[in-house]
Amino acid sequence: MKKYMHMTTLLITLFTFTACQSIYYSFWEKLGKEKRHLLQDNIETANEEQQEATEEFKDILTRIKEMYQFDGGKLESAYSDLKADYEDAEARAAGVKDRIEKVETIASDLFEEWQGEIDQISRTSLQAKSSEALIKTKRHYTQMHLAMLEAEKSIPPVLQQVKDYVLFLKHNLNANAVSSLEGEMKQIEVEIDALIVDLNKSVQKAQEFIKEIED
């Protein structure tokens, strides 16, 4: 019985999601936006999220470095600023993940629709050209998607390191404790620099893909 109820719940969830997607596409189609336009919009938004994430991690790194210049009387304020920066980066990371998932859904639906329409073309030469365009677009999308996933995958470990740093400072807010974290700070710097490289690569791949689907 439990297995039956579980399968029923999954089917209802799948049906609801599918229905919502259909309504979503139908709404935008009435406004003149096809799936390719929606994909482009969401990739651009994902780019913006990643660029914002880059800036927020740079702010975290700057804040950590600045803490070594503060005296005991200013550490409380510096800690509060660093904690706020961490929370902003954590929220941005969730936004990046959510936007990538939307890109994946729309891309999958677009490619499925595209293939279905190719199958309806009776003229062999036109069908071949459409198939070639689909294959090319899928290939470039895959490259972009992998770069996005690589960047998104790099975020949680860095966030965890920053969280460790913030929690330690919360419990040990004094100049000696801050000085003892020099090794950890250097490691965080290395990880953030690597993350920024991944994010920039993802942004570049996305821009290239957007240019292709615009042409």
Query: pLDDT at residue 9 above 80?
Result: no
Round to the nearest angstrom and report the end-to-end CA distance of the chain.
54
Helix, strand, coil shares, percent, the chain, to 5: 90, 0, 10
pLDDT for 130:
95
Task: At 163, list the tokens.
Answer: 């969280």
Helices 182-214 + 124-171 axis angle, to 10:
160
Burial bucket for residue 173 (CB in 10 Å: 0-12, 13-18, 19+): middle
Whether the Cβ atoms of residue 114 and residue 131 lie closer than 8 Å to each other: no
pLDDT for 73:
56
pLDDT confidence bin for 171, thresholds 50/70/90? confident
Q: What is the pLDDT of residues 43-95, one digit of tens each?
A: 999 999 999 999 999 999 888 877 766 655 577 787 888 899 999 999 999 99
Task: At 197, list the tokens.
Answer: 């490289």
pLDDT confidence bin for 149, thresholds 50/70/90? very high
- Which position has the token pair 């991690």? 57
CA distance 141 to 106: 12
Residue 122 DSSP SS3: coil
C-alpha neighbours within 13 Å on the C-beta side of residue 154: 24
More confident residue, 119 or 61: 119
pLDDT for 14:
40
Query: pLDDT at residue 7 above 70?
Result: no
Q: What is the pLDDT of residues 199-212, one digit of tens each?
A: 999 999 999 998 88
Across the range 10-39, mean pLDDT stands at 73
Across the range 159-173, mean pLDDT stands at 87
- Pseudo-torsion of CA 4, 7, 11, 14, nearest 10°? 160
